[in-house]
Amino acid sequence: MLTGQCPHCQPRYFALDFWKKMLHDKPALIEAIETLEPSMSQRPSNATPESILAGHTAEVKALAQSLRKLVKKTIPEAIVKAYPGWHGIGYRHPESGYFCAIFPQHDGVKLGFERGVLLPDPDQLLEGAGRQVRYVNVNSRRDIREEAIKKLLHAAIYYGRRKSPRRTRSGGVP
């Protein structure tokens, strides 16, 4: 079912089709991929933010709802979408694209920022060591420092509007 595009530019289930074609003579590897990443073989669903939160504790749901309200209040033009494969509630801006997501966890919530590595963080809320994404861990209501999170949300929109910075061979921003 390939359309001639890179599998990273298509929905995840097309990536499975890509690997099936590439590994047609290795059914054990295909089975391993499907086992490790079952969402690759699932077609898009009608998932909602509420379905992402279903099954979590009342405390986790309340934290996620507080963050959802804060994102919508701060960036009213944000478009919300549920991502069941990531178990997250993502936000896109019409001009900046995907900028943040809420990921409910067992005992709290992570507010992830797509370009978090670029964001100024004078309040030192951001965690993570990846090349791009950073997140705020929210384990209780007092972890939602509204003013600091609002600054991060506005900065995420700002950096999303700018062209992606050129990266060095080592992965850093020059």
Q: Where are the chain's structural domains?
A: 7-41, 49-161
Q: What is d(CA 147, CA 70) in angstroms, rounded to the nearest whole number?
A: 10
**Residue 98 bridge partners (DSSP):** 92
Query: pLDDT-derived band of residue 36, with 50, 70 and 90 as boundaries?
Result: low
Query: pLDDT-derived band of residue 157, with 50, 70 and 90 as boundaries?
Result: very high
User: What would the two tokens of residue 6 be?
Assistant: 């890179």
| Helix-helix angle 27-36:12-22, to 10 degrees | 160
Instruction: Give yes or no for residue 117 having a pLDDT over 70.
Output: yes
Domain boundaries 49-161, corresponding CATH code: 3.90.1150.200
Q: What is d(CA 86, CA 132) in angstroms, rounded to the nearest whole number?
A: 17
**In this predicted structure, what is the pLDDT of residue 20?**
56
Give pLDDT tens digits for 52-97.
Answer: 999 999 999 999 999 999 999 999 999 999 999 899 999 999 999 9
Please tell me whether the overall predicted TM-score, pTM, comes out greater than 0.95 for this model.
Answer: no
**In this predicted structure, what is the pLDDT of residue 41?**
44
Q: Report which listed range, 20-24, 42-46, 89-93, 169-173, is most confident.
A: 89-93
**In this predicted structure, what is the pLDDT of residue 46?**
84
Q: Residue 60: what are its φ and ψ, rounded to 5°? A: -65, -45
Give pLDDT tens digits for 160-171.
Answer: 887 554 444 444
Report DSSP letters for 35-74, one per residue. HH-GGGGSPP----HHHHHTTS-HHHHHHHHHHHHHHHHH
Q: Report which listed range, 18-32, 131-145, 155-169, is most confident.
A: 131-145
Query: pLDDT-derived band of residue 17, with 50, 70 and 90 as boundaries?
Result: low
For the chain, give percent helix, strand, coil, nearest 5. 40, 15, 40
